[in-house]
Amino acid sequence: MGESCSMKTITWAEFEQVELRVGTIVEADSFPEARRPAYRIKADFGPEFGVRKSSAQIVGLYTREELVGRQIIGVLNFPPKQIGPVRSEFLVAGFYRDDGNVVLAVPDREVGNGAKLA
């Protein structure tokens, strides 16, 4: 990080408030009503958080079939957001590539659903 970086710094206590949790995608469906190409997904975040719904603009790199059973990282403590007919209950974490496609942020080994990023 150089001096020209305008990134806001946060405290450890602020970071700990972000509920970044692992979930397994249990359902991925087309979302034709979305303004930008997206899927409607459901992910299981374990017994404490249950199955939650969201939409994800990840159609450029992932098929619905390959998403089911895949573990992802989601932010669980944003307020629910209505996106067309979908009430988004978590944010799917990912990274934008230069071509505009989103690459999912995922654990590189299997962990229990609901595990918190440490």
Domains in the chain, ordered, with CATH? 19-104 (2.40.50.140)
Stated pTM of the model: 0.90
Work out the pLDDT band at 34, boundaries 50, 70, 90: confident
Model confidence at 73, pLDDT cuts 50, 70, 90, reads very high
Task: Please state, for a pLDDT cut of 70, what percent of the chain lies above it.
Answer: 97
Q: How many residues are recorded in the chain?
A: 118
The β-bridge partners of 29 are: 40
Q: Mark 46-55 as b/e (b = at least 16 C-beta within 10 Å).
A: eeebeebbbb
**Single-letter residue type at 59:** V
Confidence of residue 53 (pLDDT cuts 50, 70, 90): very high
60 in Cβ contact with 102 (< 8 Å): yes
Q: Are 51 and 9 a contacting pair, CB within 8 Å?
A: no
Confidence of residue 2 (pLDDT cuts 50, 70, 90): low
